[in-house]
Structure 1
Amino acid sequence: MSLLPIFLLLGILMIASVQGYVSYHVSDVYGNKRYHVSKEFENFDLEKMNNRCKQLGGYLLQPDDTQEGYFAVKYARRTGWGPFFTGITDKDSEGKFYYYNDNKPAKSITWKWFQPDNWYNEDCVEVWIDGYNDRHCGIRGRYICEVPA
C-alpha cells in the first residue's frame, strides 16, 4: 500500500492550517448572492473577518434592503447556525450604523425588540432568528459573508 495519498493529505492539512483555513456553511442563492457562514466560533474582529470574506470574493453581510435583511434572519432561523456577526457597525459614530466594508449608511435593519441598546458600548451587529442585535465586538461567534453568486 502506498503512503503517497496519506502524505498528500497531511500536506494539504498543514498548508490549510498555516494559511488560517476557515470552513463555511454555504447557503442557497438569494438574488445574485450566496452567503457563507463560518463553522467555527471565534473572537469577532471586523477587519479580520471582512478580509476573510474578501478572500471568498465578497465581504461581511451588508443587507441592501429589507428583503435581504429578512432573508438573513430566516436563514439563521432555518439553519440554527445563528446568531452570526455581520458587517454592520457603529464603532466610529455611536448610534449611526454603517457598513464596515464601504462605509455606507446601513439601511432597513429589522432590529430585535429593544435593540439597539448599546449595552456597555456594543459596536457590532449580529443576526438572530428574530432580528438584528447590537453586540460587543471581540466576543466569540460566527460571521456571515455575502459573495456574488
Structure 2
Amino acid sequence: MLKFGKYFWIAFLVSNLYGESMSKDTCSFCVLKDAPSQCATFCLSALHPLFDHNTKYQHKMNNLADTLSNSNAKLDKIEGQMQSLQNSVETLKTSMEEILHKINNHTCDSRLEENQLTDSHKTVSGTNDKIILPVFKQIGSRSFYIERRVTQDWTTAEKTCRQKGGHLASIKNEEEFTAITGKLDQSWYWIGINDREKEGEYVSVASGKPAPFLKWGWFRYSNGNVRDCVRLSKNGLLDSFCNETYFFICQQDNEI
C-alpha cells in the first residue's frame, strides 16, 4: 500500500506540472490502473534527455582521452628523437676532441722536428771543418756553394743560402779570394758583405762581424750612396743596389 501511494503522488505532481499545457476546455486527470508500470514509463521518458546528454558527454570524454593518449605518444616520440639527437651531439663532440688532440700532437711533433733540424744545423755549422753538406765544395780551407744558374736579389740569395745550410759568403783573406775567383767566370756574384745598418761599415751577414777582407775593384761608387750590398767578380768587389739580381756564393760556416 505504501508503494502504491508513492506512485500516486508522483503522478499527481506530474499532472499539476503539465496541467496548464492541456486544453482549458478539457478537465483531465491521470487514472492510475497500473501505477508501477505507468509511473516507471513516464519517469523514463522524462529522464531520456538526461541519458542522451550523459551519453554525448561520455563520447566527448572518450574522444578527449584518445586525444590525450595520442599526445602522450607524440611526446614520447619527440623525447626519443631528442635523446637520439643528444647522443649524436655527444658523439660529434667526442670526435672533434679527438681530431683537435691529433692536430695538437701533430703541431707539437712538427715543432719538435723543426727544433731538431735547427739543432742539427747548428751542430753542422759548428763543425763545418769536419762535415761538408752535399751542395758545398771545399775551396781552400772552407766550404762554399757557387750558384751559376739562377739570379736573385741580395735578400733572396741570403735566404736561399740559409735553406742550403749556410749564408752568403765573406772572404777572409787574399788567398781565399784567389781560390774562389779562380772558380768563377766573368759574371757577378752576390756575397754576404754589406753596410745596410750603417753607411761605410761593412759587416758579414753570416757572423755580424766587420768584414775581414775587402778588395775593391778598379771602379767603385762614391761614399754616401744607397748601394748597400756587395757583389764579387774576378776583378774585385763592388757595392750595388740590393734589389739587383745576380748569381751568388754561399759559405757553410758562420764564423766569418
TM-score range, shorter chain: 0.5 to 0.7
Q: Say which structure is richer in helix.
A: 2
Counterparts in 2 of 1:41-52, with a 5 A limit?
41-42=151-152, 44-46=153-155, 48-52=156-160
**Counterpart contact for 1:88–1:97, Cα < 8 Å:** yes
Counterparts in 2 of 1:20-99, with a 5 A limit?
29-42=139-152, 44-46=153-155, 48-76=156-184, 79-80=185-186, 82-99=187-204
Larger radius of gyration: 2
Q: How many residues align?
A: 119
Q: Which stretches of structure 1, 4 residues or more, deviate above 2 A after TM superposition? A: 25-30, 69-76, 114-120
Task: Identify if the C-alpha distance between structure 1 residues 30 and 116 changes in structure 2 by more than 3 Å, giving closer, same or farther.
Answer: farther
In structure 2, stretches of 5+ residues that fail to align are: 1-134
**Counterpart contact for 1:70–1:110, Cα < 8 Å:** no
Task: Identify if the C-alpha distance between structure 1 residues 40 and 124 changes in structure 2 by more than 3 Å, giving closer, same or farther.
Answer: same
One-letter code aligned to 1:53? C
- Normalised by the length of structure 1, the TM-score is 0.68
- Aligned mates of 1:34, 1:87 — CA distance in 2: 12
In structure 1, stretches of 5+ residues that fail to align are: 1-24
Identical columns (%): 23
TM superposition shift of 1:96: 0.9
Higher RCO, Cα 8 Å, sep 6+: 1
State the Cα RMSD in Å: 2.4
One-letter code aligned to 1:133? L
**Counterpart contact for 1:66–1:109, Cα < 8 Å:** no
- Normalised by the length of structure 2, the TM-score is 0.42
